[in-house]
């Protein structure tokens, strides 16, 4: 009987076609018009899990996009909940893509497609690893519970309630989140902190209809100006968030934190090169890495109002909109942050203007895991074998809302473990995943399962 390593090697070509197939389905969870595509992706995943040998696979349909669950309980083996998501971010601005986002294209050893790095390749790699054990060993070396959602990119609005209602079935020793990555091709890393998330849309209305700027622009509020002044009020001139109470619950960085962050960030790709940004910006008194890893932020994700077409229109617009999200750190509470945002708008908006603050349904609590956690140490061992060096321990500016839920409801810590490379542009045009990291990820998953099962 062959081992899992041989099995992986034999299937590499066939499985390459599979990831391309999965990337072709435009599972954009925020777009109501893609609802059927999101559902088709769930079907695809469920069918693939069954084919890999997972004995209990279910598509759970609820208020939002479907959840794909699976169970493979191996007696006397630790229970590992594998968390992932099969939905993807929107693709705008489309004109910046060098190849269409849902026509995966290989250039320079990278697969370019929306969802490649975040996180369809990582998700499929888990399934392939399970199949390798199923077909060589008859079963995986640990008990596996799968939880693949279709709403991570909209903030997982329905999963917390599902976890709450199914906590017996989901009971586990720890969680492995495949929604992650490593710091560089030669720099293994493990995420020990994730930011929380809260946000809202602010709809501003200054009158019943758009107005002629010559007739009325001198006399009545311009919705764009009201929106711009409000949007600008969220930060001080130096880049500090200016929302009252925003920092009240933030746990200050210790000297140890600062050293750890400095060590980790020293090995990362320079930010300007990696991000494509032209300049640095942000809260004074902290290094860029400290801000990204461990300080809360506020982003104006969208702003729009008035005439945005070609040419000129002398309009005084009556309506404008702002989309805001905040990334949070321990111990900020996302629900409280939404209340602070509401209070900020009420305080700063021009008097007499009508407005509505609509909280985003998806929120996330910030998350931390201790560096000496037993499952994290196994993950570190697997990475060290594969990369030939010890991993660095980083915190992520990103959010995986469920990590905090798993901690609270299941009492289980989450190890983030996957092979997407920093700089691969999740959420941006021309997102990519390296072809060679498909094989690396499959080996990585098999080794992690073995070590966790010991």
What residues between 88 and 117 interact with a second copy by CB under 8 A?
89-90, 92-93, 96
- The answer to whether 396 contacts a second copy (rule: CB under 8 A) is yes
- The site string for a second copy over 40-69 (x = CB under 8 A, - otherwise) reads ------------------------------
From the list 66, 101, 160, 305, which residue makes contact with a second copy (rule: CB under 8 A)?
Answer: 305
For the bound state, the minimum distance from the C-beta of residue 401 to a second copy, rounded and expressed in Å, comes to 11
Angle (CA) 369 375 381, round 5°:
110
- The answer to whether 372 contacts a second copy (rule: CB under 8 A) is no
For the bound state, the minimum distance from the C-beta of residue 307 to a second copy, rounded and expressed in Å, comes to 4
Alpha helix (H) residue ranges in 220-270: 223-232, 255-266
From the list 13, 254, 308, 370, which residue makes contact with a second copy (rule: CB under 8 A)?
Answer: 308
For the bound state, the minimum distance from the C-beta of residue 1 to a second copy, rounded and expressed in Å, comes to 43
- Of 229-288, binders to a second copy (CB under 8 A) are 229, 231-235, 237, 271-272, 275-283, 288
Residues in CB range of 216: below 8 A, 6 or more apart: 316
From the list 310, 370, 372, 454, which residue makes contact with a second copy (rule: CB under 8 A)?
Answer: 310
The Cα–Cα gap between 233 and 210 comes to 24
- The answer to whether 191 contacts a second copy (rule: CB under 8 A) is no
Terminal Cα distance for the chain, rounded: 21
What is the CA 256 to chain-centroid distance, rounded?
27
Q: Which residue has the tokens 């999101």?
A: 38
- Applying CB under 8 A, the span of 164-172, 220-228, 336-344, 401-409 interacting with a second copy comes to 220-228
- The answer to whether 36 contacts a second copy (rule: CB under 8 A) is no
From the list 60, 220, 242, 250, which residue makes contact with a second copy (rule: CB under 8 A)?
Answer: 220
C-beta of 212 vs 408, nearer to a second copy: 212
For the bound state, the minimum distance from the C-beta of residue 309 to a second copy, rounded and expressed in Å, comes to 6
**Is the separation of the CB atoms in 433 and 111 below 8 Å?**
yes
From the list 430, 432, 446, 448, which residue makes contact with a second copy (rule: CB under 8 A)?
Answer: 430
C-beta of 141 vs 305, nearer to a second copy: 305
Angle (CA) 228 229 232, round 5°:
80
How many residues touch a second copy (CB under 8 A)? 104
- The answer to whether 394 contacts a second copy (rule: CB under 8 A) is no
- The answer to whether 437 contacts a second copy (rule: CB under 8 A) is no
**Is the separation of the CB atoms in 72 and 56 below 8 Å?**
yes
- Of 318-337, binders to a second copy (CB under 8 A) are 318-321, 323, 325, 327
Among residues 28, 98, 39, the alpha carbon closest in space to that of 67 is found at 39
Among residues 387, 413, 448, the alpha carbon closest in space to that of 194 is found at 413
- The answer to whether 346 contacts a second copy (rule: CB under 8 A) is no
For the bound state, the minimum distance from the C-beta of residue 176 to a second copy, rounded and expressed in Å, comes to 20
For the bound state, the minimum distance from the C-beta of residue 29 to a second copy, rounded and expressed in Å, comes to 8
Burial of 234 (0-12, 13-18, 19+ CB in 10 A): buried
**Is the separation of the CB atoms in 150 and 27 below 8 Å?**
yes
Query: Quick check: helix, strand or coil at residue 312?
Result: coil
**Is the separation of the CB atoms in 197 and 326 below 8 Å?**
yes
C-beta of 33 vs 168, nearer to a second copy: 33
Query: Quick check: helix, strand or coil at residue 401?
Result: coil
From the list 14, 76, 108, 219, which residue makes contact with a second copy (rule: CB under 8 A)?
Answer: 219
- The answer to whether 313 contacts a second copy (rule: CB under 8 A) is yes
Backbone angles phi, psi at 166, to 5 degrees: -125, 35
DSSP 249: T
- Applying CB under 8 A, the span of 14-22, 52-60, 104-112, 314-322 interacting with a second copy comes to 314-322
Query: Quick check: helix, strand or coil at residue 294?
Result: helix
The Cα–Cα gap between 341 and 97 comes to 34
Among residues 224, 4, 23, the alpha carbon closest in space to that of 132 is found at 4
Among residues 387, 220, 180, 438, the alpha carbon closest in space to that of 315 is found at 220
For the bound state, the minimum distance from the C-beta of residue 96 to a second copy, rounded and expressed in Å, comes to 6
- Applying CB under 8 A, the span of 184-192, 205-213, 244-252, 256-264 interacting with a second copy comes to 205-213
For the bound state, the minimum distance from the C-beta of residue 38 to a second copy, rounded and expressed in Å, comes to 13
- The answer to whether 207 contacts a second copy (rule: CB under 8 A) is yes
- Applying CB under 8 A, the span of 50-58, 103-111, 312-320, 408-416 interacting with a second copy comes to 312-320
Beta strands in 11-164 (DSSP E): 56-60, 67-72, 79-85, 105-107, 110-112, 143-149
C-beta of 168 vs 208, nearer to a second copy: 208
Peptide bond between residue 331 and the one before it cis (omega within 30 degrees of 0): yes
- Applying CB under 8 A, the span of 30-38, 53-61, 139-147, 404-412 interacting with a second copy comes to 30-38
Query: Quick check: helix, strand or coil at residue 46?
Result: helix
**Is the separation of the CB atoms in 184 and 268 below 8 Å?**
yes
- The answer to whether 362 contacts a second copy (rule: CB under 8 A) is yes
């Amino acid at each position: 009987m062959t081992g899992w390593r041989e099995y992986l090697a034999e299937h590499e070509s066939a499985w390459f076609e599979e990831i391309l197939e999965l990337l072709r389905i435009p599972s954009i969870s925020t777009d109501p018009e893609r609802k059927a595509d999101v559902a088709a992706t769930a079907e695809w995943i469920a069918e693939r899990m069954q084919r890999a040998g997972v004995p209990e696979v279910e598509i759970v349909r609820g208020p939002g996009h479907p959840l794909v669950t699976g169970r493979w309980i191996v007696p006397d083996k630790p229970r590992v909940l594998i968390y992932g998501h099969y939905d993807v971010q929107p693709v705008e601005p489309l004109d910046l893509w060098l190849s269409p986002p849902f026509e995966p294209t290989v250039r320079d050893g990278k697969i370019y497609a929306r969802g490649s790095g975040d996180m369809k390749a990582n998700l499929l790699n888990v399934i392939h690893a399970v199949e390798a054990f199923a077909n060589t060993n008859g079963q995986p070396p640990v008990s596996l519970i799968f939880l693949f959602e279709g709403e991570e990119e909209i903030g997982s609005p329905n999963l917390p309630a599902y976890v709450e209602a199914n906590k017996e079935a989901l009971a586990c020793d720890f969680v492995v989140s495949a929604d992650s990555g490593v710091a560089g091709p030669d720099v293994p890393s493990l995420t020990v902190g994730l930011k929380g998330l809260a946000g809202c849309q602010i709809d501003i209305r200054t009158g019943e209809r758009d107005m002629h700027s010559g007739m009325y622009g001198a006399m009545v509020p311009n919705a764009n100006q009201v929106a711009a002044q409000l949007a600008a009020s969220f930060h001080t001139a130096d880049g500090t968030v200016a929302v009252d109470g925003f920092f009240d619950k933030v746990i200050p960085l210790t000297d140890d934190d600062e050293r750890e962050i400095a060590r980790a960030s020293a090995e990362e790709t320079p930010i300007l090169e990696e991000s494509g940004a032209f300049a640095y910006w942000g809260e004074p008194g902290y290094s860029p890495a400290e801000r990204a890893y461990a300080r809360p932020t506020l982003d104006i994700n969208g702003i729009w109002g008035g005439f945005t077409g070609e040419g000129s229109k002398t309009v005084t617009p009556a309506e404008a909109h702002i989309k805001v999200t905040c990334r949070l750190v321990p111990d900020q509470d996302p629900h409280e942050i939404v209340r602070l945002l509401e209070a900020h708008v009420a305080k700063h908006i021009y008097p007499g203007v009508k407005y509505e603050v609509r909280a985003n349904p998806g929120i996330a609590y910030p998350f931390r895991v201790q560096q000496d956690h037993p499952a994290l140490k196994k993950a570190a061992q697997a990475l060290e074998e594969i990369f030939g060096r010890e991993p660095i321990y980083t915190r992520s500016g990103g959010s995986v809302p469920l990590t905090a839920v798993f901690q609270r409801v299941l009492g289980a810590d989450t190890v983030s473990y996957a092979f997407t490379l920093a700089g691969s542009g999740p959420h941006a045009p021309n997102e990519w995943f390296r072809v060679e990291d498909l094989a690396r990820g499959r080996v990585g998953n098999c080794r992690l399962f073995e070590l966790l099962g010991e």
